[in-house]
Structure 1
Amino acid sequence: MAIAPEKPARAAGRKAIRLSVTPSDLLSETPDLVNVWTAQVITLLPQAFPGILGESLIGRALQEGLWQLQTYNLRDFGDGRHLNVDDTPAGGGAGMVIRPDVMARAIGVARARISPRAPIIYLSPRGRRMDQALMRDLAAGDGVTLVCGRFEGLDQRAIDAFGMIEVSLGDFVMTGGEIAAQALIDSTVRLIPRVLGNQASIENESFSDGLLEHDQYTKPATWQGRDIPEVLLSGHHAKIEAWRREQAERLTKERRADLWRAWCAAHNRDPNEDQELSDA
């Protein structure tokens, strides 16, 4: 009779956060980490998390305890036998509105596990658009509580009572706030020290200085008759840096007039100046 080999002993150390097909169970079993940036998500779809946040560098940082994720199923705080979370709009109209009392119960439980300084953000198409400045502010704090909208949205009284900040992924409407929440978390967590490993990659990317990022190239030097710009192969660091700055300015001016005007105002530049920018 064959004897099954013994399983290797587990390594000692921090308990790993493992991804599974039931992430809400995983997260509920994970003890709170002290002094770690925390993302809380109140949602009707807790199974959507960690989702893409459990992959690549962000997922590895989650496993290593550089940040932590807490999800709260809004349905658990619902009313009655069927755990209702919504009702018809006051004054009539289509769709359903999330009740303020239900949301208040969920927020009460969530906020007991996070710093009171962490903002509460409601993902809404009518909010301020996400930008790099917002992500930097969030990354410098203790964490954030994210409220994912559904249906026709959340009762305004809950938004007012908790001082929620309304934030939008862009000028379009989605079926819920879950994708926007994941985008916000990803964009913020990558700014936390040690998550990406190379801080220089953050310093030189789009929006880091108010400009879009310059073009990027890698091997081979020639591909389908297209060459890497000669200056990038010169080894002359000052010229390379000047070329990249020119490219960043040109791309921003061509593609994002709003960013270009803001950058020029901050640097005492005329946004309408006809500056010669090199393409070489």
Structure 2
Amino acid sequence: MRIDIATLFPEMIENYLNQSIIGRARAKNIFTAECHNIRDYTLDKHRRVDDTPYSERQGMLMQCEPIYRCWQAVCSMTCSQPHVIYMSPQGKTLTQKRCIELSRLDSIFILCGHYEGVDARVIEKIADEEISIGNYVLTGGELPALVLIDSIVRMLDGALASPDCYEDESHFSGLLEYPQYTRPEVWEGMKVPSVLLSGHHANIQKWRHEQSLKTTLEKRPDLLKNYSLSKKDLSIITKLSGENDSENV
């Protein structure tokens, strides 16, 4: 996969992309990433990329031309048109399902806005979709872009030791992840669940699934609406709901 990022602050992106799992995946060429400073594509001698909006609103708005020229340069460089994503609080909220879909693409171009945002015309001209990482506003699109890149790259073949490393995680299956434990076996009087020490694989898998249902029910019950619950799952949830009601009496 190739990822191109259009930004005013390429250093922010580069520093993160060279760290930890993402950095190792990049070093192994599991994916390639290129940061493009939008200022390099302005025709203004002062390298300005923004101007005042046509309204009474305060602040500055990023102009179309430098962004468009940056996108054109990437298309020319790659001899293709990548899937363009504009990181925006107005976009659809990022989900694990969308991350999985994006991880299957050959190339994406991520546009990071700044100031009061981007002239709407260039978004209409080149963007395939807008993505938000939550119902709040940040100073720029760099942090959301990194969230998106991290969530995509970790699912590429070879980025993690095996698919199990992300398939068991929260949201991948539609449920939250079960609780996890490590040594020591007893800490502050709290013991690791005995089933995890049993070595009985089937029982451990059963416990993990039940705990995922329980965690999701307690922390994010809204997720259960979109999860295909089996009759056994419904029985477990009914039992858990009864236990929760008893505890609250």
TM-score for both structures, normalised by structure 1: 0.81
Shift of 1:271: 11
Runs of 5+ unmatched residues, structure 2: 245-249
Higher mean C-alpha deviation, range 269-278 or range 69-78: 269-278
Name the CA distance, whole Å, in 2 between partners of 1:114 and 1:172: 34
1:128-174: CA deviation from partner (whole Å, max 9, x where unpaired): 11111111111111021000010110111111111331111111111
Equivalent in the alignment of 1:112 = 76
Name the CA distance, whole Å, in 1 between partners of 2:79 and 2:170: 30
If asked which structure has higher relative contact order (CA below 8 Å, sep 6+), I would say: 2
One-letter code aligned to 1:52? Y
SS across alignment from 1:146:
strand
Name the CA distance, whole Å, in 2 between partners of 1:244 and 1:272: 13
SS across alignment from 1:208:
coil
SS across alignment from 1:49:
helix
One-letter code aligned to 1:120? V
Check the 8 A contact 2:210/2:236 in 1, yes or no: no
User: Which of residues 121, 132, 137 is equivalent to 2:96?
Assistant: 132
Name the CA distance, whole Å, in 1 between partners of 2:235 and 2:69: 50
Residue 132 of structure 2 corresponds to residue 182 of structure 1: no
Check the 8 A contact 2:52/2:61 in 1, yes or no: yes
Equivalent in the alignment of 2:247 = none
Equivalent in the alignment of 1:196 = 160
One-letter code aligned to 1:224? E
One-letter code aligned to 1:159? I
Check the 8 A contact 1:38/1:114 in 2, yes or no: no
Higher mean C-alpha deviation, range 252-261 or range 120-129: 252-261
More helix as a share of residues: 2
User: Which of residues 190, 213, 216 is equivalent to 1:226?
Assistant: 190
- Identify if the C-alpha distance between structure 1 residues 115 and 183 changes in structure 2 by more than 3 Å, giving closer, same or farther: farther
- The residue correspondences of 1:1-280 to structure 2 (distance < 5 A) are 37-114=1-78, 116=80, 118-264=82-228, 274-276=238-240
Runs of 5+ unmatched residues, structure 1: 1-36
* Identity level (%): 35
Name the CA distance, whole Å, in 2 between partners of 1:142 and 1:271: 43
One-letter code aligned to 1:72? H
One-letter code aligned to 2:54? A
- Identify if the C-alpha distance between structure 1 residues 146 and 211 changes in structure 2 by more than 3 Å, giving closer, same or farther: same
- Identify if the C-alpha distance between structure 1 residues 131 and 113 changes in structure 2 by more than 3 Å, giving closer, same or farther: farther
TM-score for both structures, normalised by structure 2: 0.90
Shift of 1:273: 5.6
Name the CA distance, whole Å, in 2 between partners of 1:115 and 1:228: 55
How many residue pairs align between the two structures?
242
Higher mean C-alpha deviation, range 45-54 or range 179-188: 45-54
